[in-house]
Amino acid sequence: MSSKISLSRYLVEQQRDKGNIPANLRLLLEVVARACKSISHAVNKGALGGVLGSADSENVQGEVQKKLDIIANEVLLEANEWGGHLAAMASEEMDSIYLVPNRYPQGEYLLLFDPLDGSSNIDVNVSIGTIFSVLKKPEGSQSVTESDFLQPGKNQVAAGYCVYGPQTTLVLTVGDGVVMFTLDREQGSFVLTQENVQVPADTKEFAINMSNMRHWDEPVRRYIDECLQGKDGPRGKDFNMRWIASMVADVHRILTRGGVFMYPWDKREPHKAGKLRLLYEANPMSWLIEQAGGASTNGRQRILDLQPELLHERVSVVLGSKNEVERVTRYHDKT
């Protein structure tokens, strides 16, 4: 790339030249990116900033919160509440929705996020990230309620994540393909480093937590079993496995070099549809993957078509290289 394109310039061009986003959505995305920069600095300080370890509290899903989960949540709330672009926010770390306080102007967007995904990796210095999804407040809705957030993923107007790894990378879609920006710490800005991200349709790499194998359902067991048989099995090729236990990092690898990611329903807690949350994990990641030419399903239905019933609803997730996702879907069809 001859001259550097900043996130601000990319967004201005999406608004002014391509007409893909209105000014308020541009502002919203700039603010989210600014918050991610600040979270990246906190993550970077680690033990020196006193940010590691547990916070001695639990979130609505009964998971122990880490100090950085709470810090990241606060950073996102504070950055976004006063700009006038939002009506309300929802987060993995908050039981219910957060309405923009009355003292600030109300906007037309709803922001949903997992402030720090991959929390089990915080203290061990492995990549973690922020996942976000943007919806429009339904027409005619005056004061926002939780039901305004219960929209299928295909309604998203922007989605992305920021991965805090060896580099801090912001990955974004506004429905015009997927773009990646790397944080230039000297300049303090995100710089466009990859456009038109494409997930190869075929892959020899899968990501799943194998320790849950005995709890899986038959179609998932069959798919992984065939991968494990390698060259000698029905697939006729050897597969490689990766599992980072940070969805952001696993999805980032898949957007970079292909692969299939699975966190399926399993028999440990049969009443739960899976581990990952639909609204602020599966939906934004599914849209990014689809925008990059991949596919995403719960095994039986396209994730972006699912009608959410609950704010913190869970879902079974299979996403990544198209041909592999379609194969897993076929295996589900047969049962």
Given the rule CB under 5 A, which residues bind Mg ion?
114, 117
Question: Which of 182, 202, 198 has its CA nearest to residue 190?
Answer: 182
**Nearest distance from C-beta of residue 163 to ligand AHM, angstroms:** 11
Q: Which does 169 bind (CB under 5 to 8 A by kind): ligand AHM, Mg ion, none?
A: none
In angstroms, the Cα distances linking 292 to 75, 182, 241, 287 are 29, 18, 22, 9
Quickly count: other Cβ atoms within 10 Å of residue 102's Cβ. Answer: 7
Name which of 182 and 212 has its Cβ closer to ligand AHM.
212
- Determine the Cα–Cα distance for residues 36 and 242; give it in Å rounded to an integer: 26
Question: Which of 248, 315, 319, 320 has its CA nearest to residue 277?
Answer: 315
* H helix runs in 64-214, sequence order: 67-80
Name which of 12 and 245 has its Cβ closer to ligand AHM.
245
Name which of 81 and 250 has its Cβ closer to ligand AHM.
250
- Which amino acid is present at 172? L
Q: Which does 290 bind (CB under 5 to 8 A by kind): Mg ion, ligand AHM, none?
A: none
Name which of 7 and 244 has its Cβ closer to Mg ion.
244
Backbone angles phi, psi at 319, to 5 degrees: -145, 160
**Nearest distance from C-beta of residue 270 to ligand AHM, angstroms:** 16
Name which of 136 and 242 has its Cβ closer to Mg ion.
242
Name which of 27 and 255 has its Cβ closer to ligand AHM.
255
**Nearest distance from C-beta of residue 317 to Mg ion, angstroms:** 11
Q: Which does 213 bind (CB under 5 to 8 A by kind): ligand AHM, Mg ion, none?
A: none
Q: Which does 245 bind (CB under 5 to 8 A by kind): ligand AHM, Mg ion, none?
A: ligand AHM
**Nearest distance from C-beta of residue 260 to ligand AHM, angstroms:** 13
| Burial class of residue 202, CB neighbours in 10 A (0-12, 13-18, 19+) | exposed
In angstroms, the Cα distances linking 113 to 133, 168, 233, 260, 267 are 6, 18, 41, 23, 27
Q: In this structure, what is the dihedral angle of CA atoms 274, 279, 283, 288, given to the nearest 10 degrees?
A: -130
**Nearest distance from C-beta of residue 266 to ligand AHM, angstroms:** 10
**Nearest distance from C-beta of residue 128 to Mg ion, angstroms:** 9
Helices (H) and strands (E) in the chain, counts: 7, 17
Can you say whether the dihedral through the CA atoms of 316, 320, 324, 329 is positive or negative? Answer: positive
Q: Which does 246 bind (CB under 5 to 8 A by kind): ligand AHM, Mg ion, none?
A: ligand AHM
**Nearest distance from C-beta of residue 298 to ligand AHM, angstroms:** 15
In angstroms, the Cα distances linking 280 to 151, 276, 299 are 12, 9, 19
Q: Which does 307 bind (CB under 5 to 8 A by kind): ligand AHM, Mg ion, none?
A: none
Name which of 66 and 332 has its Cβ closer to ligand AHM.
66
Q: Residue of minimal CB distance from ligand AHM?
A: 247
Name which of 96 and 335 has its Cβ closer to ligand AHM.
96
**Nearest distance from C-beta of residue 169 to ligand AHM, angstroms:** 16
Interaction site with ligand AHM (CB under 6 A): 63, 92, 114, 117-120, 209, 245-247, 263, 275
* H helix or E strand, kind and range, residue 90: strand 86-91
